[in-house]
Amino acid sequence: MVKGQKIELIGDVVRIDEGKVTVTLGTIVTVDQDKVRLVQSYVSPTRKKALIDEPD
């Protein structure tokens, strides 16, 4: 039995553990993992300079 309407909320994932996902929606909200879908995957930032020590 499903009550109410489905709505789409957009927020950043803060934590994932034991079938629960915590999302920031202006306030922190925890929901079941099967109620959440991934819209945009995480892409780590790229480096502009190599990680090497420059001689002085």
Three-state DSSP at 34 gives helix
pLDDT in the model for residue 20:
93
Three-state DSSP at 16 gives strand
Distance (Å, whole) CA 23 – CA 33? 11
Domain locations in the chain? 11-35
pLDDT in the model for residue 7:
80
| Mean pLDDT per 10-residue segment, the chain (56 residues) | 79 88 90 84 76 75
Which of the 8 DSSP states describes residue 56?
-
28 in Cβ contact with 14 (< 8 Å):
yes
pLDDT in the model for residue 28:
92
pLDDT in the model for residue 30:
92
Distance (Å, whole) CA 47 – CA 27? 32
pLDDT in the model for residue 1:
65
